[in-house]
């Protein structure tokens, strides 16, 4: 039977991130993808890293969620850019009604080239974190969620993962990626019992668009297919590392991940280890 997943996120006109990325990831995993659109992100040709974000009215988001959950029983749900506390509340209510669906929260608080966009910290902590099977903050988002100035070491990643788990998430994956010092891209998973550190060789310093969205969507896909959390994270990290290695250019200075890379042009440099 074909598995189904819902992504609640923004549209990225570049095609590399947001709902476009999520649907590509779902498709690569054999998942039938459904969407609820929260915003539309466009780019200023005169300023390569500047984004314009137009948010969808909350009443329209509510209708989308009602439609999606009426049409399908989902094996996984993933959220990305939500944009307002009203949208957070609507999604939280829909997840509650779905009674235990496996949910991956990508707590989008920052955007490449723009920094912090919207202050949804408290809404995430109060309404969505307790329903999350996995929450996947990057270093900036993790610091914002716990009120830290910065996160610079693996031990600090462990500390913040433990704190976010104490706030209700079943598992926490703190994405260090290539931003920590050293030659390894590092992510830390905590499931309430033990820590797992995932590493892979860094693929250079190139900034790419869509890695975080795609990782959360890949975890959602693996969970929908029945993987346990550690296996889901390990496979998702490998999938996205191939996508980063196979990055493609676009009109901006930030390349996009290539979601078919693991299938069509896998990189020999991808070697994910768990510790």
Ordered DSSP codes for 135-186: E--BHHHHHHHHT-S---SHHHHHHHHHHHHHTT-S-EEEEEET-SSSSEEE
As a whole number of angstroms, the distance between CA 140 and CA 142 comes to 6
The per-residue pLDDT for 49 is: 61
The per-residue pLDDT for 43 is: 82
Q: Considering just the CA atoms, what is the radius of gyration of the chain in Å?
A: 17
Q: Which residue has the tokens 């990325």?
A: 21
- pLDDT tens string, the chain, 275 residues long: the values are 999 999 999 999 989 999 999 999 999 999 999 999 999 988 877 776 677 889 999 999 999 999 999 999 999 999 999 989 999 999 999 999 998 899 999 999 855 444 445 579 999 999 999 999 999 999 999 999 999 999 999 999 999 999 999 999 999 999 998 888 888 999 999 999 999 999 999 887 777 889 999 999 999 999 999 999 999 999 999 999 999 999 998 766 789 999 999 999 998 888 899 98
With CA atoms as reference, report the closest residue to 3 among 34, 38, 48: 34
Mean pLDDT of all residues belonging to the chain: 92
The per-residue pLDDT for 10 is: 97
Contact call for residues 15 and 86 (beta carbons, < 8 A): no
DSSP secondary structure letter of residue 14: T
Q: Report helix, strand or coil for 245.
A: helix
The per-residue pLDDT for 205 is: 72
Domains along the chain?
4-274 (3.40.1190.20)
DSSP secondary structure letter of residue 37: E
The per-residue pLDDT for 179 is: 82
As a whole number of angstroms, the distance between CA 30 and CA 24 comes to 10
């Amino acid at each position: 039977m074909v598995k189904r997943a819902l992504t609640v996120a923004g549209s990225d006109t570049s095609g590399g991130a947001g709902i476009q990325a999520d649907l590509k990831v779902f498709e690569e995993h054999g998942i039938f993808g459904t969407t609820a659109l929260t915003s539309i992100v466009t780019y200023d040709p005169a300023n390569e890293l500047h984004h314009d974000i137009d948010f969808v009215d909350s009443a329209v988001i509510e209708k989308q969620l009602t439609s999606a959950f009426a049409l399908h029983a989902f094996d996984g749900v993933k959220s990305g850019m939500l944009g307002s506390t009203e949208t957070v509340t609507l999604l939280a209510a829909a997840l509650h009604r779905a009674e235990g669906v496996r949910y991956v929260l990508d707590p989008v608080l920052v955007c490449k080239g723009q920094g912090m966009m919207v202050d949804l910290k408290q809404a995430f902590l109060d309404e969505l974190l307790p329903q999350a099977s996995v929450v996947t903050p990057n270093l900036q988002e993790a610091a914002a969620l716990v009120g830290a100035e910065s996160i610079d070491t693996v031990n600090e990643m462990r500390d913040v993962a433990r704190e976010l788990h104490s706030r209700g998430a079943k598992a926490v994956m703190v994405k260090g990626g290539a931003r920590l010092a050293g030659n390894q891209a590092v992510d830390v998973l905590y499931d309430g019992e033990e820590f797992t550190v995932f590493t892979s060789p860094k693929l250079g310093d190139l900034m790419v668009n869509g890695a975080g969205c795609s990782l959360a969507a890949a975890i959602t896909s693996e969970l929908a297919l029945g993987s346990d959390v550690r296996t889901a994270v390990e496979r998702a990290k490998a999938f996205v590392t191939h996508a980063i290695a196979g990055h493609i250019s676009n009109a901006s200075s930030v390349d996009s991940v290539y979601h078919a890379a693991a299938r069509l042009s896998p990189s020999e440099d991808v070697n994910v280890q768990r510790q």
